[in-house]
Amino acid sequence: MSPEELKAYQAPKDLLKDRVILITGAGDGLGRVLAREVAAHGGTVILLSKTIHKLEAVYDEIEAAGGPQPAIYPMNLEGATIKDYDDLAANIENEFGRLDGLINNAAWLGDMTPVALYNPETWSRVMTINLHAPYLLTQACLPLLSQAQDPAIIFSTHDVQRAYWGAYGVAKAGLEGLMKILAAEYQGDIKMRINGIDSGPIQTHLRRQAYPGELATNNPLPESVASAYLYALGPDCDSTGQNFKLGD
């Protein structure tokens, strides 16, 4: 589908009925919007982020709108261990008995600076949050996802392999590579859609950090790209290994 078609996609109200969807970075920005939209289309959302009060606010919004009762899972992706990810998957299985979708959306920009001047500690933090964490989380959740009838994994990508984007640009390039490799590995007996979505410019905190001189209101709201995520999560999507770019 073209970017215009993805943005115009009209998801059926019960698109995600009885499905359990895990969303990282669900406390604000795009993640918050996606959580509300998934719930509005019948999905039970597992809200993952490090800031509890933000997750509680999203939880309350979903409940107030009459969506399925969500779950809150506070987790700091920067400091999480392999056991933490395994425990998360075990808790999902014990609580819900299933996992139908995963949106790896959490991100952290770090510094906008030349590689020659990049602080190695910041580099490590950026790579952990933007690349290592999605890999570890996805790997831990794959056994559960593989048992679902129509599983989907989405990576929020960002094509910024340009000067001064440093560790973030490298991590996002790696994330797209991880998506394509994983999709190729699951093109077989197990039906699993694994795709990336590059939202293009939208009004988020990360965008404001990267472009502080830009008039933020010139960019569309995160709600404008939610339909593409719904499409990739639901059975109408027949693609895997694709990186859907919605803007420049």
- Please tell me whether residue 90 adopts helix, strand or coil conformation: helix
Residues 6 or more apart whose CB falls under 8 angstroms from that of 23 comprise 31, 34, 35, 38, 45, 46, 47, 48, 103, 105
Nearest to residue 237, comparing CAs of 186, 173, 184, 191?
A: 191
168 is catalytic: yes
> What type of residue sits at position 164?
Y
8 A C-beta contact, residue 152 and residue 97:
no
> Exactly one of 59, 85, 168, 186 is catalytic; which is it?
168
DSSP state of 212: T
Q: How far apart are the first and last CA of the chain?
A: 16
Please list the active-site residues. 168
